[in-house]
A and B are shown apart, each in its own frame.
Chain A
Amino acid sequence: SAVISQKPSRDICQRGTSLTIQCQVDSQVTMMFWYRQQPGQSLTLIATANQGSEATYESGFVIDKFPISRPNLTFSTLTVSNMSPEDSSIYLCSVDTGGPPYEQYFGPGTRLTVT
């Protein structure tokens, strides 16, 4: 299994500002993923982050708004830029084992409120 921590756990930010969310894993993983869970909604994949390469973004998400870094095999950051109230969500980091038993683990999430 993998233990994932995220910082901050929650934050309240003003519109127009940016917030960087950190994700730390207790083991080396190839793929890390960032999801968004808007209030009362399901989880939506934002992007996939590989170490040493540009992140791959899903439809509807762009690098200018959600820049991602992946400097090593245990760490990643997601920045939510130029925030608006619509960005208020829980942001979750996840990793998969990359091999058997093919399981995916999620961090506790970062609850972001934009005022």
Chain B
Amino acid sequence: AQSVTQPDIHITVSEGASLELRCNYSYGATPYLFWYVQSPGQGLQLLLKYFSGDTLVQGIKGFEAEFKRSQSSFNLRKPSVHWSDAAEYFCAVERGSTLGRLYFGRGTQLTVWP
């Protein structure tokens, strides 16, 4: 069965610092992978996705993620964090053959210090 692990429950970074949020998945084949962001009082917003091809994917808001098959990882990165990036970040994997059935990691709460 597919699973998604986000080992960091809470991360704190200073504004302007770089950021990496970790995500590991367990799946027999190459999965479809996603990163979502949930800001306080806001809905879920898709940051980026990986289906196939180039393993480094660019997303919105300056985020990027790299798919590493050998490590079963799909880590999210941003070179310089802004205070507005403070939010909850969820990694997700598409489960089964039906697009849209997502299995989410438990999330990483990002705090940004000014």
Contact = CB atoms under 8 A, between A and B. Distances in A.
A48 interface: yes
B100 A42 contact: no
Interface stretch (A20-28, A79-87, A88-96): A88-96
Interface string B1-43: 0000000000000000000000000000000101010000011
A31 B100 contact: yes
B14 to A, nearest CB: 25
Contacts of B32: 102
Interface residues of A, number: 21
Contacts of B51: 102
A102 B105 CA distance: 20
B50 to A, nearest CB: 11
A66 interface: no
B112 interface: no
A92 B100 CA distance: 13
A109 B99 contact: no
B43 A109 contact: yes
A108 interface: yes
A42 B90 contact: yes
A28 B43 CA distance: 21
Nearest to A33: B100
Contacts of B36: 106
B104 A48 contact: no
B105 A42 contact: yes
Given A31-B99, A104-B99, 4 more contacts: A42-B106, A42-B107, A43-B90, A104-B100
Interface of B: 32, 34, 36, 42-44, 46, 49, 51, 90, 92, 95, 98-107
Name the 5 nearest CB pairs between A and B, nearest first: A96-B100, A106-B44, A43-B104, A42-B104, A108-B43
